[in-house]
Structure 1
Amino acid sequence: MRIGAPLLKQVKDPKEWTNEHLRRGYLAAYCPDLTIQDTAEIRAYRQAARDADIVIAEVGAWSNPLSDDAAIRQSALQRCKEQLALTEEIGAICCVNIAGSRSAQWDGPHPDNFTPDTFALIVDNVRDIIDAVKPKTSYFTLEVMPWIFPNDAETYLSLMKAIDREAFGVHLDPVNMIASPALFFHNRKLLLECFMLLGPYIRSCHAKDVVLSSELTVHLSEVRPGLGGLDYYTYLKLLRSLNRDVPLMLEHLLDDEAYQEAAKFILYTASRI
């Protein structure tokens, strides 16, 4: 199993970049901070990753292709296309974005996020991005979010069928699906459903955890893997059952020590399988 995490220190070249990953035991990596115009650097990082047996898991395209502001929407679509092209050139597995939001906040909740028109716009956007780049080895993916499609395994599968492009894949973050006490307490069932419906299409996964606070209203908070209620034994067992390299990428922690503790927990849990 390949684990990866962000590097919080600046590195000066591809060799140092690979060394810092290997020193931490990471055989998967987020894409370095490059653009599609950085031709020489792309080649250098691609070769360095290959030489070190490090998989570049994902390239972020974080933006809002659903914005009601036409200029913002077009800029977001262009960014997605450029980042997908970068994904292909650097040899990464997938380019990832969220679908966006009808809110002024690019990743915020909005009542129109769950309308049929929004679903159709997501389909059009993803087709436009993939058809413009025509990737041969990499995939465009959407990260699951609690307040926009895809928000669960069934809606992701519906999008897969509607988009109908081989280069569209699944980016799995089960914590982002846990939006109620029922899902929190029965997340093993949620994980089983995700891998049953989406297993063949999963390209990269995120690793984090979630806790349910004892308050009058529902309050779910993200925490470090191992400090919450996500059934990591089941999660890792299902990942292993895919029988192919699907990176598990840590995120949203404050320092390198926290990332190392999270990785230790995951590796310990994996050793029990």
Structure 2
Amino acid sequence: MRLGGPVFTDDLNPDTWTATLKEEGYRAAVFPVDHEASEEEINGYVNAAESNDILLAEVGAWSNPISPDKVIRKAAMDKCKRQLDLAERTGARVCVNIAGARGGQWDGPHEENFSEETFEMIVDSVREIIDAVNPKRTFYTLETLPWIFPDSADSYLELIRAIDRKAFAVHLDPVNMISSPRVYYRNGEFIKECFKKLGPYIKSCHAKDIRMSGDFMVHLDEVLPGTGTLNYKVLLTELNKLDHDIPVILEHLTTPEEYRQAASYVRGVAKELKIEL
């Protein structure tokens, strides 16, 4: 597998991008520009990645394709199609988005998020996005979340079967599915279950960590890898069993120093397991 993370530079171009990635020891990266970039700029990053053995892990399509606002929904669908096309043109491993949300907050909870109608809306939106592009090299994926489908291995499998498109695959983010003390304390078993059920479909993974407070009511926080309880030995072992060069991307940290600390921890666990990152 290949570890990746963001680039911090004031002068972003293909040369500084790849140089910084190599300085940080990353062998995978999120594609740094979107579909609005010029063809010359897009090709520059693709060529730079190929020349420096950097795997293009993902193209983000972050938006709300099931928004209750018709204007927002239409714009989101258009963005997803264009970003999926960009992923196909660049050869990125996946185009990733969330399923969306039924409320005003595009990435937030809502009482209708787990309804049968919402499930069907997600199925229809993903089918339309994939059918508009018909990708052959990349996959469209939904990031797992605790407040909308897919929120578990089983609900992801249900979506895979319902959507019924070869270009629909799995972007795994185990932290985003840990929403109870039961799963929190048994997350190693939970991770194994995810790989048992979703393994053939997993194309990319986000790396972060989670910590539960001692409050009376359940309170879970995303934290820097190595400072929480996510079972990285199990996660990396299971990822290493997959038969493709899967990207593992660090995210949601603030500074280069935090990312270096996170990368050091993940690499340390991998080294202990004799796994190459």
Residues 207 and 251 of structure 1 are in contact (CA less than 8 Å); yes or no, is this contact kept in structure 2? yes
Residues 123 and 159 of structure 2 are in contact (CA less than 8 Å); yes or no, is this contact kept in structure 1? yes
Equivalence map 1:254-273=2 (5 Å) = 254-273=254-273
1:70 aligns with 2:70: yes
1:19 matched to which residue of 2?
Answer: 19
Residues 9 and 16 of structure 2 are in contact (CA less than 8 Å); yes or no, is this contact kept in structure 1? no
Residues 34 and 83 of structure 2 are in contact (CA less than 8 Å); yes or no, is this contact kept in structure 1? no
Residues 94 and 141 of structure 1 are in contact (CA less than 8 Å); yes or no, is this contact kept in structure 2? yes
2:213 matched to which residue of 1?
Answer: 213
2:121 matched to which residue of 1?
Answer: 121
2:105 matched to which residue of 1?
Answer: 105
SS at match of 2:252: coil
Distance in 1, Cα, partners of 2:10 & 2:192: 39
Deviation at 1:37, TM superposition (A): 5.0
SS at match of 1:62: coil
- Alignment root-mean-square deviation, CA: 0.9
Summarize deviations over 1:198-217 as a string: whole Å, max 9, x none. Answer: 11111110000000100010
Deviation at 1:247, TM superposition (A): 0.5
AA matched with 2:26: Y
Residues 93 and 138 of structure 1 are in contact (CA less than 8 Å); yes or no, is this contact kept in structure 2? yes
Residues 42 and 89 of structure 1 are in contact (CA less than 8 Å); yes or no, is this contact kept in structure 2? no
1:197 matched to which residue of 2?
Answer: 197
Which contiguous aligned blocks of 4+ residues in structure 1 show a shift greater than 3 angstroms?
none
TM-score after normalising by structure 2: 0.97
SS at match of 1:182: helix
Equivalence map 1:53-68=2 (5 Å) = 53-68=53-68
Distance in 2, Cα, partners of 1:24 & 1:113: 39
AA matched with 1:25: G
Distance in 2, Cα, partners of 1:38 & 1:168: 27
1:6 matched to which residue of 2?
Answer: 6
SS at match of 1:57: strand
Equivalence map 1:36-47=2 (5 Å) = 36=36, 38-47=38-47
Residues 36 and 86 of structure 1 are in contact (CA less than 8 Å); yes or no, is this contact kept in structure 2? no
Distance in 2, Cα, partners of 1:235 & 1:191: 6
2:235 matched to which residue of 1?
Answer: 235
Residues 36 and 85 of structure 1 are in contact (CA less than 8 Å); yes or no, is this contact kept in structure 2? no
Deviation at 1:2, TM superposition (A): 0.7
5+ unaligned residues in a row in structure 2: which ranges?
A: none
Deviation at 1:34, TM superposition (A): 2.9
Alpha-carbon spacing, 1:68–1:12, altered in 2? closer, same or farther (3 Å)? closer
5+ unaligned residues in a row in structure 1: which ranges?
A: none
What is the aligned length? 273
Distance in 2, Cα, partners of 1:127 & 1:17: 34
AA matched with 1:203: K
Summarize deviations over 1:18-46 as a string: whole Å, max 9, x none. Answer: 11101100000011123255211111111
AA matched with 1:56: L
Summarize deviations over 1:214-238 as a string: whole Å, max 9, x none. Answer: 0010000010000000000000000
SS at match of 1:124: helix
TM-score after normalising by structure 1: 0.98
Distance in 2, Cα, partners of 1:88 & 1:195: 25
Distance in 2, Cα, partners of 1:204 & 1:11: 28
Residues 209 and 227 of structure 2 are in contact (CA less than 8 Å); yes or no, is this contact kept in structure 1? yes
Distance in 1, Cα, partners of 2:205 & 2:119: 23
AA matched with 1:178: I
AA matched with 1:222: E
